Amino acid sequence: MSVLEIFNNAINGVKGLVDECIIIARNVRWSMIRFANNEPTIINNWLTQEVSLYVVKSRRYITASLTSINARDISNELQRMVKRLENLPEDELYTGLTHVGKPSQLPGSYDKNVEVDVGRIVDKLNNAINASLSEGSSRNAGALTFGVEERYYVDTTGLELEDKSSFVTLTIRAFLDDVSATSVSVSRTLSEFKPENAGREAGSLVALAKGLPEERIDNGRYDVLLGPLVAGHLYGLLASTWFNAYSIITEMSGVTRDDVGKQVASEKLTLEDLSGEDSVVGSEAFDYEGNATTNLTILNGGVLTSILHNNRTAARFGVTSTGHAVNNWVRPSPRHVRIGAGSLSSDVDTVMRELGSGLLITNNWYTRFQNIKEGLFSTVVRDVALLIRDGRPAARLRGLRIADSFKTLLRNFTDSSKDTRQVYWWDMPIPASSPSYVLIRGLNITKG
């Protein structure tokens, strides 16, 4: 029995007992090659399945999730959900299930070579390690993941959907003495997967920092060049937290409904969600409500042009869903955030000269909020961080945090590199396409 047949049988079992029912599932076959000291150390293979269930009766809804596509388990869970519905309150944002657009497979999102050409993938990993060593690193570690995701959707209106996508990602961390640097390569297809570029970048960054003295800097505001991992991380978090309609409705965003069409950021900043872009990791053909996904310009020259909607929030705003019911039915979310390109160089030596004096930060992790509505956050600076004087690296920096707000990221965005590239690793909330460098004036830095 096919997955869609399993889902239809389960829905037929609760028809007449509920007003609406949605079943959506992900089936991911993926592998990871871990490496350390310049050599692969272990290869693991997994099959990950996740089923999400949604049931509505008389404006009351309930959701549940399962970890396998099993016909009996799904049917039994739906029956339990139906019994629990009558004890739940009505959902004030509820709106009837409708569909926007006609979802179809994103044409460039699946590459069969990712499934069958493991030898070529291993060769590309070796190319990345060798590229890092050639730039000056002494050893390298990290992980390469690759696989295929299949998604299935069925609801009580009779809509049936499925799509398929592939992915391959590399995270490489280069070491030289006590210095480290991280870079990534991310792609939907094997032909566009360029891990040697990531290896070369990581190796060149540790070589750049080698021999520099360590300095401590005072807490304060600095002009900062953010590498693509940092910029992609922070602006992805900003887009998902502040620019979804549910956060605006619940007053957990620093922008309001009335800000749409107004200048809320630097005129240099353009921010997009690429949910419908087949070439980027994270894109999908349909959302959790069966709506077609779309690319969405959130900020255009600093003007808030669009916010993310699902059916519920769109009904409250009197608009149409943008297809951003992502992983749930309550809070809309982006899938892949792109920061617009600017006029800065993509070459590290050139961009430091363009900066003049300030800081270069290449990686971060463990981001935490102090106040979500105000956008107050802090994040730990990781790997190579440099003090720049007169356009040249002057010292290595350790033990720093970026401790500021989304308002600074919006208003003090000054420029970015001319290129953008996909970035993603395990501590980024959302895949992103980021320029090689983003310049923020007056970013608050503290000592950890």
Q: What would the pLDDT profile of 95-154 be if each residue is shown by its tens digit?
A: 999 999 999 999 999 999 999 999 999 999 999 999 999 999 999 999 999 999 999 999
Claim to verify: residue 168 and residue 224 sit in the same structural domain: no
Claim to verify: residue 172 and residue 221 sit in the same structural domain: no
pLDDT computed for residue 378 by the predictor: 98
Largest CA-CA distance found in the chain, in angstroms, rounded? 73
pLDDT computed for residue 387 by the predictor: 98
pLDDT computed for residue 1 by the predictor: 83
d(C-alpha 202, C-alpha 285), whole Å: 34
d(C-alpha 22, C-alpha 353), whole Å: 55
Residue at which a domain ends, from 165, 180, 204: 204
| Residues 6 or more apart in contact with residue 384 via CB below 8 angstroms | 179, 180, 181, 205, 206, 208, 209, 360, 362, 363, 396
Claim to verify: residue 224 and residue 254 sit in the same structural domain: yes
CA 422 to chain centre: 10
Token readout for 54 is 């949604």
- For residue 259, the 8-state DSSP code is G
Which of 232, 447, 436, 218 has the alpha carbon at shortest distance from 342? 436
Claim to verify: residue 225 and residue 341 sit in the same structural domain: yes
Claim to verify: residue 60 and residue 83 sit in the same structural domain: yes
Residue 201 in 3-state DSSP?
helix
Claim to verify: residue 162 and residue 227 sit in the same structural domain: no
* Cβ–Cβ under 8 Å, residues 47 and 31: no
Burial 76-85 (b: 16+ CB within 10 A, else e): ebbeebbeeb
Claim to verify: residue 401 and residue 440 sit in the same structural domain: yes
Backbone angles phi, psi at 29, to 5 degrees: -105, 115
Which residues constitute the domain of residue 247?
A: 212-448
d(C-alpha 34, C-alpha 145), whole Å: 9
pLDDT computed for residue 448 by the predictor: 72
Token readout for 405 is 């707000």
The pLDDT tens digits for 74-87 are: 999 999 999 999 89
Say how many domains are in the chain: 2
Burial 212-232 (b: 16+ CB within 10 A, else e): beeeebeeeebbbbbbbbbbb
d(C-alpha 207, C-alpha 85), whole Å: 61
Claim to verify: residue 326 and residue 195 sit in the same structural domain: no
CATH of the domain at 136: 3.30.2290.10
d(C-alpha 275, C-alpha 16), whole Å: 35
Claim to verify: residue 169 and residue 237 sit in the same structural domain: no
Claim to verify: residue 312 and residue 416 sit in the same structural domain: yes
All residue ranges of the chain with pLDDT < 50 are: none
